């Protein structure tokens, strides 16, 4: 595999994003909502750097199954969300690929009565978006490659890597 983003670069960028969030959320109590399972490591590292009161919620939004490297039908499970009606939401995801997942999740959170929804993605894949969507915070822009590590997986493996790697074509588990 080829290391695309090393561990120290991720750590520094997470610190920078937290600094931006601390400035932008001053005076507001908010809820950080992580999209399972890919955002867990990003969420854990980021929330430890947030200086303002916040809740944490999780939701499952998945369009990849098993060894698939292209998205399918989005399945949403919001059973792990706290009450968000009237709350400011920071929605975290590991990667912005086509834009379909994030746009649908944002619409769903607004439908649940969120006061506002800001989005933060660790990675933004260039050249893959099919749905117009602009995240509020972006960690890194990356080329159109299937990546793993720092929470991102292939067939539920490689999440443990502390860096972002490009998965070679034809990789089998």
Residues forming the active site: 97
Coil, strand or helix at 110: helix
* 134: Cβ contacts below 8 Å, ≥ 6 apart: none
**Tokens 């939701």 sit on residue:** 59
Q: Which residue carries 């997986």 as its tokens?
A: 153
Instruction: Provide the H-helix boundaries in 25-155.
Output: 40-47, 100-111
Tokens of 87: 């709350």
């Amino acid at each position: 595999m080829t290391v695309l983003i090393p561990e120290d670069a991720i750590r520094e960028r997470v610190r920078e994003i937290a600094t931006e969030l601390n400035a932008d959320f001053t005076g507001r109590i908010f809820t950080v909502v992580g999209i399972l399972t890919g955002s867990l490591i990003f969420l854990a590292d980021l929330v430890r750097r947030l200086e303002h009161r916040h809740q944490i919620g999780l939701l499952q939004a998945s369009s990849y199954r098993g060894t698939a490297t292209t998205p399918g039908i989005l399945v949403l499970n919001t059973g792990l969300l706290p009450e968000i009606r009237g709350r400011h939401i920071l929605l975290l995801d590991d990667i912005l690929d086509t834009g379909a997942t994030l746009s649908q999740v944002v619409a769903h959170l607004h439908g649940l009565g969120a006061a506002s929804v800001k989005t933060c993605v660790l990675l933004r894949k260039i050249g893959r978006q099919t749905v117009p969507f602009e995240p509020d915070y972006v960690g890194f822009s990356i080329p159109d490659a299937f990546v793993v590590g720092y929470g991102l997986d292939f067939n539920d493996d490689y999440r443990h890597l502390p860096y972002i790697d490009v998965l070679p074509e034809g990789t089998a588990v």
